[in-house]
Amino acid sequence: MSHYFKFIRSTLIALPILFAFPTLAFSQIEEVVVTASKRGEANLQDLPFSVQALTGERLNAMGATDFDDFFRLVPGLAVFDQGPGDKRIILRGVNATGAGTVGLYLDEVIITGENAQDGGGRQPDIKLFDIERVEVLKGPQGTTFGSSSLSGTIRYITKKPNLEKMEFNASASLRDIDGADDLSGQAELAFSVPLIADQLAIRFAGFYLNDDGFIDNRFEDGVNSDETVAGRVSLLFTPSEELSISLMAMVQDMETDGPYYFNRVDNSGQPLPPNTQADLTRNPFDDETTIYNATVEYTAPFGTFTGTASRFERDTVFNRDASAAVGPFSVITQPKDRELNSYEVRFASAWNGPLQVLVGAFAQQEQRFFQSRILPADPQTGEFMEVPGFSLDRNVSTDVDELAFFGELSFDITDQLNLTGGLRWFDFEIDEIADAVQGFSGAPGAGVGPELSFGESDVIGKLNLSWQPSDSMLLYAQWSQGFRSGGTNDQTAAQIADVVIPQGFGSDSLDNYEFGIKSDWYGGRLVTNASLYYIDWSDIQIQDLAQSPDDEALFFPFRANGGGADITGLELEISANPLDGLELAFLANWNNAELSEDNPIPTTGRDGDDIPYTPEFTFTVSAEHSRPLFGGNLRGFLGADVNYVDDRSTELRPDNPLNLELDSYTLVNVRAGVEADSWSAILTVKNLADEDTIVDVFRIIPGLTPDGFIPLQPRTVTLTLRKFF
């Protein structure tokens, strides 16, 4: 019950502040325009479903660099975080192994993580440079955004070329991270040039980050450093008022010297100094992402036609210390290459009358190649090396093809009442071939395994009823479905040990029932949004283990479908400008996510078990005050936010020996800055109280290797100078 009291207490504290000045000179809250519905631009408050947006200006003022810097400002958004490039994003408590449960997009490009081999997440860490806004669509978006938008969709919207004038933006940051030996740095550059006035423009953006680490190992200090180089170029061509053609290419290369965790003991159980790893080898992580997109849009008086083609390439090399499992100074290295081509055409009507439609077709082809190898490492340098005759390899090649047709029909029953229904038919097929494990010096068991195939087709739906009794209030009720495709299990290693695991696993799906209200008061100077939801999740994809009959200590992981889950939650967003230059906000989420039936193997999950990594209660209170300085030539601002995240468990079963109860924590961030017409200087302090709570646990081989603990980033002070015109 303490969680409910916290929620009520925080609300009672915030509401008097928000309503205390109804007769004073409010300033209107800025309207945010989004494209979340695929029907063109719309005011966020006019959309009859739960969506939140963070503008690029707000992200810059916060000093946000990536997902970790903003997710606590979105009620219902959480993360299973194993470090840079290895995250599983969780929305409304929908969390399970397998492909992402939240769809991730950069403009029109699908960049959702597929999680085929590791089960740990590995959503790409797109850096927030030259970003127009981030849109978070809550609840299933299966009819319009397809597979893996099981619980919602996050869209990174980049800034587009300016057809009318030249733009230039540059920034440089110095960052001091507590525990790091050296200062960190960041630089950004973006400029847009019109090549033909009002018709053709090009935009370039570049990004560089060098964050020093605060965790040490036997080879170097600050091993969890992050060095990222990224660039993006986009071209916009509008030969007529009706036609626009946009092209975009982006590359991001991220390298970390080692994992983000520390160990409390070494491989022999001896205590280690604080923030120290037990690894006996070097284990860098390389993550290179390349993105291409072409979009054509034709706007006629009766509607808009859109066609888009995208390509997403991601090459990663993930390394782990295998010394405790194989022998001293050995490494598990896992390179993975992924190519995803996607195509979509759609039409959004603009008819005169009560009836509107959105129809489209979608096709996707994906190719993946995964390799897992065990190699020796040099005891002195920790670098792994190729040694003839020493190898333990496994290769997996995967092809995925998907085809879908979708549509929404919207009808204005009256001027205030609207009914929208949507359907999506999808068909996908997965083919996978794995090479059997290659033993040391070509031991028996080598060879190509059988081709595994899995396919499925189905129809999902959506129904939305919205009522707008006035220009300042919108109420809606929605039923929507989401799905996440199934797949195959790599059986090769298990077969060598005479262990039988299932050939594949099916899709999981959910039904979301939601009621929401959006309202603004005092001419848009107070905004209150709330949504109450219930989610019925079935056939949850789970990670299971098969035990060898000859060796009780030998297990083989595989994926299967478990039982179901019930999730009930409430989201609340309140924003107000009670005085000119003063902005206040209170954001909260209460979420109860638990299994509604036993898993097929009850020891892996029982009715009533909490969904891992899902806090029951989170809230954020923020305030920012700005005012003119020195006669109005400058404007200064001072802001702060307090983020509270409730405790979480890491496993379904509370009696699971691997379960770790993660403590609740509170983060305090402050910022101050001075802005002029063409420059700004901003000082931010993240984690002001230097909270060191553990937010995740990392295990290479549970029970054999020491647990790794992932902490919050220590207090970080950043000074950023920006120049723009």
Which tens digits make up the pLDDT trace of 146-179? 878 889 999 999 999 999 999 999 999 999 999 9
pLDDT tens digits, 230-257: 999 999 999 999 999 999 999 999 999 9
Contact 319, 333 (CB under 8 A): yes
Decide: pTM greater than 0.75: yes
Give me the pLDDT at residue 12, please.
Answer: 38
Q: Which residues pair with 299 in a beta bridge?
A: 304
Question: What is the pLDDT of the chain when averaged over all its residues?
Answer: 88
Position with higher pLDDT, 17 vs 147: 147
Position with higher pLDDT, 632 vs 201: 201
No. of helices (H) and no. of strands (E), the chain: 4, 41
Give me the pLDDT at residue 23, please.
Answer: 35
pLDDT tens digits, 447-466: 566 788 888 899 999 999 99
pLDDT tens digits, 372-418: 888 888 888 888 887 765 556 778 889 999 999 999 999 999 999 99
CA 678 to CA 188: how far, in whole Å? Answer: 16
CA 572 to CA 576: how far, in whole Å? Answer: 14
Pairing of strands 555-561, 508-521: unpaired
Alpha carbon dihedral 13, 18, 23, 29, in 10-degree steps, equals 170
* Residue keyed to tokens 């009520």: 8
pLDDT above 90 for 591: yes
pLDDT above 50 for 434: yes
Q: Residue 675 CA to chain centroid, in angstroms?
A: 31
506: pLDDT confidence band, cut at 50, 70 and 90?
Answer: confident
pLDDT above 50 for 2: no
Rg (CA), the chain: 26
Give me the pLDDT at residue 41, please.
Answer: 86
Question: Residue 669 to residues 64, 69, 250: CA-CA distances in angstroms?
Answer: 11, 10, 31
List all residues 6 or more positions away from 124 whose beta carbon is below 8 Å from its beta carbon.
85, 104, 111, 113, 252, 287, 289, 314
Give me the pLDDT at residue 389, please.
Answer: 59
pLDDT above 60 for 15: no
Contact 215, 226 (CB under 8 A): no
Mean pLDDT, residues 331-354: 94
Give me the pLDDT at residue 704, please.
Answer: 78
Contact 227, 258 (CB under 8 A): no
CA 490 to CA 450: how far, in whole Å? Answer: 10
Q: Would you tell me how many other CB atoms lie within 10 Å of the CB of residue 93?
A: 29
- Which is nearest to 593 in space by CA: 557, 540, 630, 644? 540
Q: Which residues pair with 671 in a beta bridge?
A: 639, 684
Give me the pLDDT at residue 436, please.
Answer: 59
pLDDT tens digits, 542-556: 877 777 777 766 677
Pair of tokens at residue 644: 């509270």
CA 183 to CA 166: how far, in whole Å? Answer: 34
Helix/strand/coil for 104:
strand
Contact 188, 159 (CB under 8 A): no
CA 378 to CA 552: how far, in whole Å? Answer: 32
Give me the pLDDT at residue 116, please.
Answer: 63
pLDDT tens digits, 100-150: 889 999 999 999 887 565 544 578 889 999 999 999 999 898 889 887 888
558: pLDDT confidence band, cut at 50, 70 and 90?
Answer: confident
CA 165 to CA 172: how far, in whole Å? Answer: 24
Where does residue 495 fall: left (phi above 0), alpha (psi -120 to 50 degrees), or beta otherwise? alpha
HSE-CB at 152 with a 13 A cutoff on CA atoms is 25
Position with higher pLDDT, 340 vs 86: 340
pLDDT tens digits, 361-380: 999 999 999 888 888 888 88
Give me the pLDDT at residue 17, please.
Answer: 37
Terminal Cα-to-Cα distance of the chain (whole angstroms): 53
pLDDT above 90 for 662: yes
